[in-house]
Chains A and B, each alone.
Chain A
Amino acid sequence: MDTLLKKIEGTKAFEGTRALLNPISGESRQRPAIATGHVDADGVLPGGILPGVLHEVFAGDMSAAACGFAAGLAHRVRGKKRLLWIRQDYAALEHGEICATGLAELGIDPSMVLMLRAANAPDVLKAATDALSCFALGAVIAEVPGNPRILDLVATRRLTLGAQNKGVTAILLRPCAHPEPSAAETRWTIRTTASAEHDEDWGRPCFDAALTRNRHGETGRWAMEWNPDDGVFAKPADQPATDHGPVAAATANGPLAAQDRNWRRAG
């Protein structure tokens, strides 16, 4: 058996057969993280967004910013596969429909996006669990406004297991909701951010993204900009440069020095 395996190991064409012969290989398929493109965020995350797990995106209001952020994350993670967006009827009426031309303007090909309109939150969860078992999908965005009781720790755990099963990333988009305990890998809270004063142009979409929970690392908060041309996040170009050039060293004794140290003045 081993010699046979070694012979066919070289040929890529029989990779499928190899998987068949080794069903329980013991190695858990650790899928590599996909970089968001924002250097600081990727540094805190394990190299980027981990596929095949559950990520949560929260927003305090019905902002379209969270919508755009979740779409951006999904676009990063899906690769070449399709994306399924599950929304409730209520969200479509109150918050507006997802617009195909809008997605195209964000750099996401609308022909790669499927939409499911569910009647209520339990239907959204049922559909998400069903869809996560389809390996041909790259990501599933489940949009559930508010904090319904059905979306508890158990439900998020079920979504995580579903995502791990076939490697489809699950993104739970929760507008008008406050964060709750969940089994998510990362949790983001998105706010809108005002464009810089001096910036003349309209500018790309920019989000105030706070990573409030990260299973494999620290948390953080950054201004993340979405680049529709390349389909990646980036640091906003207009952030003031931190490097001011060479400066003179601060003097050891002088008025500035005295302010720094809490020395007791004698006499």
Chain B
Amino acid sequence: MRRKTGIGAAPDKTPVVLSLKDSNARIVYALDTNAARAGLKTGMALASARAVVNAVHVVEADLPADRAMLDVIADWCDRYSPFVALDPPHGLLIDITGVDHLFGGEQAMLSAIRRAFRDQGFLCYGAIAGTEAAARALARFANGTIAAAGDDAATTAPLPTAALDLGEKDTHALVRAGLKTIGMVAERTRNELMARFGKEMVFKLERALGLREKPISPRRILPAYAAERRFAEPVVSEDFIADAILGLATSLTEVMEERGQGARLLEASFFRTDGAVRRVEVETARALRDPAVIAKLFRTRLDALADQLDPGFGFDLVRLAAVQAERLVPETVGLDAKPDDEKEIACLIDRLAARFGSHRMLLFQPQDTHIPEAAGVAVPAQHADDTDLDWQVRADSEPPRRPVRMFAHPELIDVFGASAPDGAPPFFTWRSVRHRVVRAEGPERIAMEWWQTYDHKPERDYFRVEDESGQRFWLFREGLYMHGAPERRWFMHGLFA
């Protein structure tokens, strides 16, 4: 199933060509209809083109922009089917298995797509077939054909050999040998062809005949469940959109309930009439199947968006998809059941993550490391998976060994007069303030991960010190004291309560 787009014709009669620099020569990359009528061909040198038609208008080809445009068009084609793949430089492959009935059949769907592209100003060649190679060949050389199911070979047989996309040399060789159509090539035995042209050529032939398939991979992850709604009149108002999302959430959750699943990652896609697509994602901490909660989360997300959802001339299609789904066992609620605290916390996490961003809503997870700044790391709450590790229980009747506040990056301090080898400094200067140490405890030696051969950090000797005002600090000396070694550096790592 394939579409091919080209460049539309200019309104006036001047031939327009796109030029591209190809190994020190400028060649004609693309033509418009006027240029084609004038006898120019793609691939000819620009100088020759100028010789044929003097008043040709030359525009520099912008390949990255073409590729970006192809991405935008592929996004827009998401409205037809979620399975869209790029076929560079100018093509798209859309797998319409199972969705063509939504558009009134294959013929109606192909016509609708080509008309939509024409309205946008694109020249579109399209065809439908059972395999991607057959569809590509038909689109290029027999625009608008729809191959019947299983009938690819017969449909592609009359196409010229160039439709096989073998490269200039091989195609020329086949035509010279008298095999002018794909059907003629198919009549030869495979062994002959393989001996002369190689295995790859035979595979391409078989793909064009619909006998062999090459899987295509979609651009975007295919959602597990999706519900969509088309509007005859494009919608602009926020309330309407919110209602639509609630309705879609209801249908989506009905389907998920039948399968016993709940959504972990939901995506709402808004398709504008002028082609732009806007997607908004909502993540949840636990599998969710409540339509009201889903609608509320999307409402919060849309309100909190930095750049508001711009409807332009209106949205004509809104789709709600559960990109990731998980098994969800329904809970039976008793008459006297107390409200579930865990569920309420999960709702709170989802709500705050939807409003402020899922990277801001954190919880603490124990890590399998003894490096202090990595030990009690806060991770995003919605991505936290269950871990087997437990928090280290504090030693009873011991004062706190770790500070309540720790700097992610220890700060360098100036230290004066630390007695070697294990002494705490009597004075230190941190953030331009000098502190006199009244009381100190330590050292507590924490070796960094010595098994890492790369980026090996030296051991740290940690001290708990208290200054004259009663503030308590956690600082360390990096590296062991060694006689004759350069002065070791000291760092401030944390503050005790």
Contact = CB atoms under 8 A, between A and B. Distances in A.
A96 B494 contact: yes
Interface stretch (A42-50, A61-69, A178-186, A234-242): A61-69
Interface stretch (A33-41, A155-163, A201-209, A211-219): A201-209
A24 interface: no
A16 B405 CA distance: 42
Contact of B403 (A99, A134, A195, A228): A99
A217 to B, nearest CB: 26
A110 B391 contact: yes
B466 A101 contact: no
Nearest to B405: A96
B402 interface: yes
B344 A135 contact: yes
Nearest to B496: A64
B404 interface: yes
A101 B402 contact: yes
Contacts of B407: 96-97
B362 A106 contact: no
B363 A102 contact: no
A136 B356 contact: no
Contact of A101 (B337, B351, B362, B375): B375
Given A97-B407, A202-B441, A81 B497 contact: no
Given A117-B362, A134-B345, A194-B438, A102 B406 contact: yes
Given A101-B372, A109-B391, A114-B362, A127 B356 contact: yes
A150 interface: no
A130 interface: yes
A82 B337 CA distance: 20
25 contacts: A13-B336, A16-B337, A17-B336, A63-B495, A64-B494, A68-B404, A72-B497, A82-B345, A99-B404, A100-B364, A100-B375, A101-B391, A101-B392, A103-B404, A106-B497, A110-B366, A118-B360, A123-B356, A134-B347, A134-B348, A136-B348, A194-B468, A202-B439, A228-B394, A228-B399
Interface string A229-253: 1000000000000000000000000
Interface residues of B, number: 58
B391 A97 contact: no
B397 interface: yes
A188 B399 CA distance: 24
Interface string B468-497: 111110000000000000000000001111
A151 interface: no
Contacts of B497: 64-65, 67-69, 71-72, 102, 106, 205, 207, 226
Contact of A96 (B406, B464, B469): B406
A95 B408 CA distance: 10
Contacts of B392: 101, 104
A131 B366 CA distance: 25
B470 A195 contact: yes
A194 B400 contact: no
B406 A105 contact: no
B272 interface: no
B376 A192 contact: no
A202 B375 contact: no
Contacts of B338: 16
Nearest to A91: B405
Given A96-B405, A114-B349, A63 B375 contact: no
Given A114-B363, A193-B470, A205 B344 contact: no
A44 B353 CA distance: 40
B317 interface: no
Pairs of residues from A and B, 6 with the lowest C-beta to C-beta distance, nearest first: A68-B497, A100-B376, A64-B495, A105-B400, A192-B470, A136-B344
B193 interface: no
Contacts of B404: 64, 67-68, 71, 98-99, 102-103, 105-106
Interface in B368-398: 372, 375-378, 381, 391-394, 396-397
A107 interface: yes
Interface in A99-156: 99-107, 109-111, 113-119, 123, 126-127, 130-131, 134-137
A116 B378 CA distance: 10
Contacts of A222: none
Interface hub of A64, A117, A126, A228 (most chain B Cβ within 10 A): A64
B376 A110 contact: yes
B309 to A, nearest CB: 20
B339 A135 contact: yes
B399 A202 contact: yes
Interface string B330-367: 00000111110110110111011001100011111010
Nearest to B394: A105
Nearest to A200: B439
B348 A131 contact: yes
Contacts of A206: 470
A233 to B, nearest CB: 12
A202 to B, nearest CB: 5
B362 A116 contact: yes
Nearest to B376: A100
Contacts of B471: 63-65, 192
B457 interface: no
A134 B372 contact: no
B286 to A, nearest CB: 14
B401 interface: yes
Contacts of B377: 100
A93 to B, nearest CB: 8
Given A123-B356, A202-B399, A110 B364 contact: yes
A147 B349 CA distance: 28
B439 A195 contact: yes
B470 A102 contact: no
Given A101-B402, A228-B394, 16 more contacts: A14-B336, A64-B496, A65-B471, A92-B408, A96-B406, A99-B372, A100-B378, A106-B400, A107-B394, A110-B366, A116-B356, A131-B348, A135-B344, A194-B438, A203-B399, A205-B497
A113 B496 contact: no
Contacts of B494: 64, 96, 99, 102
Nearest to B393: A104
Given A69-B497, A115-B364, A204-B399, A95 B349 contact: no
A99 B402 contact: yes
A144 B378 CA distance: 20
A203 B496 CA distance: 12
A82 B364 CA distance: 12
Given A97-B405, A205-B497, A116 B352 contact: yes
B400 A205 contact: yes
A115 B497 CA distance: 19
Nearest to A93: B408
A100 B470 contact: no
Nearest to A99: B406
Contact of A67 (B337, B345, B405): B405
A136 B336 contact: no
A194 B348 contact: no
